[in-house]
Structure 1
Amino acid sequence: MTDFPSPDFLAPPTRRQLLTMIGKVGGTAALYQAMTVLGHAAESQFNGPPKLSGARPGASVLVLGSGLAGMLAAYELTKAGYKVQILEFQGRTGGRNYSVRGGDTIAELGSTQTVGFAPGNYLNPGPWRIPYHHRTVLHYCKELGVELEHFAQLNHNAFVHHKDAYGGKPQRYRDLYVDYKGHVAELLAKSLNAGALDTAVTADDKAKLLEAMKDWGVLDKSMAYTKGVKVGEQRGWDRPPGGGVNGAPIPGDVGSLSDTLSTKVWQQIGFYTEHVMQTTMFQPKGGMDHIGKAFAAKVGSLVRLNTHVTKIAQDDKGVTASWTDTKTGATGETRADWLVCTIPATVLGQLDIQVSDKKKAAIRALPYGNSVKIGLEMKRRFWETDYAIYGGHSFTDQDISLISYPTGNWFGDGPAVILGAYPFGIGAYKLAGMTPEKRIAAALDQGSVFHPAEYKAEFRSGATVAWSRMPWILGCCATWTEESREAHYQDLVSMEGRIVLAGEHCSYYGCWQEGALLSSLDAISRLHQRASAA
């Protein structure tokens, strides 16, 4: 959505356009375009675990990578009777399903951090929430005994900050949301009453729309959006309701149309109406890595850690992966009948792999977007005690993009971790170009716009991950476009000989764990079908 209407805005909209304009009042949040890759808005295609059975005696599968896609492949294939081994570059399993805690080390290109968080505190540098419709993730959490809790997504009491709005002073999302719909409702009601839309709306629909605008926008008898008790019931009060002599609430002033539009609050409204960002979300209690740990409890004995794959070859009888042990320098080869490769495309494109030129081109044509997360451990939960904010996000047009308040242990004492930055795009690259120490300092400077008295004074320790600087992936997640999908997607996901690829980059649910798991189930189902027919 642009800041100023185009000339087309002056033409009366059709009925469909009018209802679409009302239904999608905010548009799409530009802040999260990097996450909303093509196809993300559909319900998950998960219909239950794969029905794999009858593996040929002694049939073997080699899995490259022990992220969720790789471990799920190993989990289901071993249940089907295959002999499975996993080769993993890192010294741990889980991939981007990752949490860092006190004492952990974060090794980026050019820097190493030791996390100083207090016991029980953590940062999820990768995935951190699970939408209600990500049925694959939820199924395996239940099957593997991962305890989930509610993730607080939408919080009307959090803030929206725009440097050019309200003198740079953050505003409560609740106030801006109510003001925005109030002003939009008033404008539409005036247009309807002036007859400007008579050619597009029937008389019956006009009456219904006027009634709807009055209720939806909290308009007064003259169809104006203005200060009053009904608005206060949605927007809040200068003096809240009380008891006794002075119990009557006093409503606050409403923001002007110009001030409201200057905040671009439609971006946040659109963000919360995105299918994948709607408000029923979950998180594993105690850290996202509990999902990876649950898979590792089932297949961890199959994993060879610290193993750098250097070459992938195949013939009509099997596959061979050549590797180097990153700890000892020893080299070796692992042979199997079939191979599931979950190595990210950013790294796989640098390897010698025996597949067609079309598949190589598909691998190398897929760029990964960047993101940075910064965890700021604070001495106390001042956002709760001083601001009455329990979970949710405050948005800003600064490089950090947002801060997110922790879900869980509400009303607790002692230190807690705020997500102090989560940008994509230019903001992420600017922060990634800094040392970890300077990133944390920038997050404290920029986050102080929301909590000026507390942010730096209550800071205890910090940790940060810039995904473009993580040597085992060199990016956050795959960023398909419609054009690149049309040119390369089917070549990427096709099974060639005895090799099939899996991971979030091999799905229409990019940048989500759901995509990684769905692609893995699809890959092993096709592999099993091919192996059974061989």
Structure 2
Amino acid sequence: MTEPSSVLPMSRRDLLAMIGLVAGSGASYRAMASMGLVAESTYKGPIKLDGGAKGKSVLILGAGHAGSVAAYELRKAGYKVQILEYNERVGGRCWTLRGGDKFTELGGATQTCGFDPGLYVNPGPWRIPFHHRALLDYCKRFGVALEPFVQVNYNAYLHSTEAFGGKPQRYRNIHADFNGHVAELLAKCTSQNKLDDAVSKEDTEILLSALKEWGALDKNYSYASNPQSSERRGWEKPPGGGIGGAPIPSTPMSTSDVLKSGLWHHLSIGQQVEFQTTLFQPVGGMDGVAKAFQREIGDLVRYRSKVTKIDQNDSKVTVTYVDSQTGGAPMQATADYCLCTIPLSVLSQIDIKVGPKMARAIRAVPYESAVKLGLQFKRRFWEEDEHIYGGTSYTDMPIRLIGYPNTGYHSSGKGVLLGGYMFGPNAYEFTALPPAERVRKAVEYGSKIHAQYKTEFDNGIAVGWHRVPWTLGCAGTWTEDTRAAHYDNLCQLDGRIMLAGEHASYVNAWQEGALLSSLNAIERLHKHVQSH
């Protein structure tokens, strides 16, 4: 790369902005955390509900993680507990689909999963960050075996329909070339004393040394075709053995090509706190967590219970429900208190007797649309042909990404990919199609990244969360304004009713949020019981 004829002075703010761009949103996240705007999990260990239950009963609505952990801890503390659950299983959105599983979405479309034995897709949560301490603690206590989840795979692809003729690029190529070119630019600014007093003379030498190492620059602080850059982006001809084994360095893309491709947008995801190494997944499917809870509290659950009304007075809570599959005559359950974990998208349509502040809060939170597609292929061609083991490829096509299985490496026979994970308009557009057409479109899009798609495809399944009747969306969506106006009112004890779930947390759309919300709610409920 030639030296620019002129370099504009760079202020401290500009330097931080550029480094922030390279560092990605993870740096922004940590900066916000330092200002108290966001935080990691607040879990400090097993909850202690001392003092006894005073003979009180709690009716829990929903057997997702929020409801399940509440039932587990409240029963241990001596409360009489019962759960009403819409489905025939525990877990809520912690859901895994395997061969033979069926589900029916709004509109009546029924899909049957056709995967081979041992293969699965997680339509809901599919990864556990290392700092989600509550979830990891319950996994440990309940014996849920975990294995690594690969978030960033340098051999996976970044793809744009508008760049490089639509040809996918290896993640490591874009990562190395973006970092290398930015490092070179910064090094030239530094060596020409153009940083406008942003760093001292002593720090300038340190910065130049750091940029050289970080960006794989040569002795002239240039990012070029040489062994240093090839160790990052890969070789034109890799090192071999015997005669002819000498490697040939690869040639970096130009600064302009890398910047105009827009593919650098995807580089920061692995630096966000939620996606930093190490992440985990339960062995055999995310519903391993749900099954563990079911072993602990399944005897407390009344399944196939669709709540239609939640009433309360000065002495008790009364919940009316019907069979979620057959309807029939209404039934009722009563308790001293109620912990409701029903998603707000559904709860807002239920007759619930709470004060005006909580009622407004329930109606204030919309739910995100989302679609996940599981695609089974005749062989694991991503491993056999392209040497991709786990991780994710990203694209600007509507499917957004392709997720590779993080287990079963080198297995013979078929394999399942996450064939797309869509939000917003793309999710609505996909679910406007019949399920089979959604799968067909996912295969069409995916073939732009993996040409093997069309010949190796076997079968698939598509879950649109805003069409799932018991949740009507992926997760609650807050804004700064709605949190300020409604969050505390949503979480307060209203008479004898309290709410919990990921929507009642600052860790939205994560299992950790559901657990933290529920543990906080039952701790406050227990204090209330102790004081009355």
TM-score with structure 2 setting the length: 0.94
Residue 88 (structure 1) aligns with = 85
Contact 2:399 2:445 in 1 (8 A): yes
Report the identity percentage. 53
Distance 2:251 2:322 in 1: 67
Distance 1:290 1:57 in 2: 34
The AA in structure 1 aligned to 2:348 is G
Equivalent pairs counted in the alignment come to 518
Cα distance change on mapping 1:257 and 1:199 into 2, 3 Å = same
Note the C-alpha offset of 1:189: 1.5
Residue 104 (structure 2) aligns with = 107
Residue 443 (structure 2) aligns with = 444
Residue 413 (structure 1) aligns with = 412
Match of 2:481, SS state, is helix
Match of 2:515, SS state, is helix
Q: Please, which moves more after superposition, 91-100 or 421-430?
A: 421-430
Where structure 2 has 5 or more consecutive residues not aligned to the other structure, the ranges are 1-6
Distance 1:461 1:360 in 2: 44
Residue 5 (structure 1) aligns with = none
Which of 233, 236, 253 aligns to 1:235? It is 233
Residue 54 (structure 1) aligns with = 51
The AA in structure 2 aligned to 1:512 is W
CA offsets 1:306-357 (integer angstroms, 9 cap, x no match): 1111111111111110111232512111110011000000010111111111
Cα distance change on mapping 1:440 and 1:384 into 2, 3 Å = same
Residue 488 (structure 2) aligns with = 490
Distance 1:307 1:417 in 2: 33
Contact 1:183 1:257 in 2 (8 A): yes
Where structure 1 has 5 or more consecutive residues not aligned to the other structure, the ranges are 1-8
Note the C-alpha offset of 1:428: 1.8
CA offsets 1:357-401 (integer angstroms, 9 cap, x no match): 111111101011111100000111111111010000000001000
Residue 351 (structure 2) aligns with = 352
Residue 421 (structure 2) aligns with = 422
Distance 2:53 2:70 in 1: 17
Runs (4+) of structure 1 exceeding 4 A deviation are 38-41
Alignment of 1:78-477 (within 5 A): 78-110=75-107, 111-326=109-324, 327-452=326-451, 454-477=452-475
Note the C-alpha offset of 1:17: 5.1
Note the C-alpha offset of 1:432: 2.0
Contact 1:28 1:267 in 2 (8 A): no
Note the C-alpha offset of 1:262: 2.2
Match of 2:455, SS state, is coil
Note the C-alpha offset of 1:56: 3.5
Cα distance change on mapping 1:495 and 1:39 into 2, 3 Å = farther
The AA in structure 2 aligned to 1:177 is H
Match of 1:313, SS state, is strand
Note the C-alpha offset of 1:11: 6.0
Note the C-alpha offset of 1:404: 0.5
| 1:509 aligned onto 2:488 | no
Note the C-alpha offset of 1:182: 0.6
Note the C-alpha offset of 1:245: 1.5
TM-align CA RMSD = 1.9
CA offsets 1:130-149 (integer angstroms, 9 cap, x no match): 00000000000111111111
Alignment of 1:14-25 (within 5 A): 14=12, 18-19=15-16, 21-22=18-19, 24-25=21-22
Distance 1:255 1:371 in 2: 35
Match of 1:478, SS state, is coil
Note the C-alpha offset of 1:519: 0.3
Distance 1:10 1:516 in 2: 50
Distance 2:11 2:104 in 1: 55
Contact 2:96 2:121 in 1 (8 A): yes
Note the C-alpha offset of 1:102: 0.5
Contact 2:225 2:249 in 1 (8 A): yes
Note the C-alpha offset of 1:528: 0.8
Match of 1:490, SS state, is helix
Contact 2:217 2:224 in 1 (8 A): yes
